[in-house]
Structure 1
Amino acid sequence: MKKFGLSLYLVLDPGLCRTHSMVETTMAAIAGGVTIVQLRDKKAGTEGLIRIGRELMDAMSGTGVPLIVNDDIDAAIAIGADGLHVGQDDLPSRAARDRLGRDKIIGLSIEDEAVARKVDPSIVDYVGIGPIFATPTKPDHKPAIGFDGLAELIKIAGLPSVAIGGLKLEHVAPVIKSGANGLAVVSAICGQPDPESAAKRLSDALKTARS
């Protein structure tokens, strides 16, 4: 049975994880309240993703926090990851489901209304909606949609959703007000001097926003 929480979604960035490794950053972030982790590294190649992914799976064992691999289904399968996240230019979600089976988590990036209307809830478990703001961690992103765009796409997609794109601590309240289940962050945790404290501040803000 698939169990996952989108409240605080950490997207790992190897370029930012210099002071703390990706494993160290992940474990500190989980201690601070991160509920799901995505391994994203466009430069590592499949073998590189498998290597770090297996380290992460070993470290995360017993935490109850799922590991999602971005885009690379071969790496996700080899790692034994909990799921896969795909974008509009990646492997089609139906093909991913056929290969992964029913027990794995599949997330899909949504950037506009046309895509949101095509999401198949029998295939996709959650949607990542954005970018809310422009962000240097993903320079090839589509135009920013803001919080109004986020709220509209959440309604259209009708699936559990996580907002992404340049989000920081001060954006927690408007993300939750827009109707998202949570927010995905990169630099708000990766590369911070104390990833655990950074995650805890975000987690506490999420609890406050929902109260």
Structure 2
Amino acid sequence: MGKSFDPRLYLVIGPENCAHYTILEVVRQALEGGITLIQYRDKYSDTDTQVQNVVSLMNVAKEFQVPVLVNDRPDVAKQAEADGVHLGQSDEGVQQARILLGKNAIIGLTVKNESHIKTAPIESLDYLGIGGVCPTESKVNPDAPLGVNGLLEMLKVSRAYGDLPTTAIAGIDESNCDAIAATGVNGLAVVSAICGQVDPKTATQRLRQKIDPFFEKGIAV
């Protein structure tokens, strides 16, 4: 539906996630290390601040031709002219976001169980974000982690309902990224595995080295 993108290594980042650097510094290092997609997730800043931050991120990311999405806020994505939005089950509806952002926007949706997949408006989406897969401290998640086996079951259901790309999120780091990539997802979304590291660029490169063998070249969709 939207423009092409590569979900292989997907950085989810917000002001509260950065342990050692500013958001822009982390993003630049991650881009240099090989991040392929960015989501700005900010639950606390006001609208104007979010718009300004997204515009700044896009100015950096465009040098690397990496799309920037906004979590939860189609209005912020619209004002900042971001590449798209990622929505949760309780956020503004997918169809409304598509109308607001247009046919070229990248729109993703979090799905946490089989019912979410079966009721997802597939025709208006560009990818599904499956999670949480592993325990995580970067976001409060009342649901039990899916684990690798649960992720595999979700992927089966997803493929039965369409061919949307899928990304896995929550608790993914260098210790488990290869096992999760081996499930057949199209990409891995990470937070602290990059944002919380003293050397985000090297951390990104190490993740790419581990997961790239599981992805064919030209994964962009």
Superposition TM-score, scaled by structure 1 size: 0.95
Could you tell me whether the CA contact under 8 Å between 1:5 and 1:36 is conserved in 2? yes
Superposition TM-score, scaled by structure 2 size: 0.91
Q: Distance in 1 between matches of 2:59 and 2:142?
A: 32
Could you tell me whether the CA contact under 8 Å between 1:133 and 1:146 is conserved in 2? yes
Which residue is 2:147 aligned to?
Answer: 146
Cα deviation per residue 1:146-204 (whole Å; 9 max; x = unaligned)?
A: 11111111221232011001111121222122110111000000021110000000011
Which residue is 2:133 aligned to?
Answer: 132
Which residue is 1:49 aligned to?
Answer: 50
Same amino acid, percent of matched pairs: 37
Task: Please report how far the alpha carbon of residue 121 of structure 1 lies from its aligned counterpart in structure 2 after TM superposition.
Answer: 2.4
Give aligned pairs, total.
Answer: 211
Q: Distance in 1 between matches of 2:16 and 2:121?
A: 34
2:194 aligned residue (181, 189, 201): 189
Equivalent residue runs for 1:135-174 within 5 Å: 135-158=136-159, 159-174=164-179
Could you tell me whether the CA contact under 8 Å between 1:175 and 1:182 is conserved in 2? no
- 1:45 maps to a residue whose letter is D
Which residue is 1:106 aligned to?
Answer: 107
- Please tell me the root mean square deviation across aligned C-alpha atoms, in Å: 1.4
Could you tell me whether the CA contact under 8 Å between 1:8 and 1:35 is conserved in 2? yes
Could you tell me whether the CA contact under 8 Å between 2:19 and 2:197 is conserved in 1? no
Structure 1 runs not aligned, ≥5 long: none
Q: Distance in 1 between matches of 2:156 and 2:30?
A: 30
1:73 is aligned to 2:74: yes
Bigger shift: 174-183 or 78-87? Answer: 174-183
Task: Please report how far the alpha carbon of residue 119 of structure 1 lies from its aligned counterpart in structure 2 after TM superposition.
Answer: 2.0
Structure 2 runs not aligned, ≥5 long: 217-221
Task: Please report how far the alpha carbon of residue 14 of structure 1 lies from its aligned counterpart in structure 2 after TM superposition.
Answer: 1.4
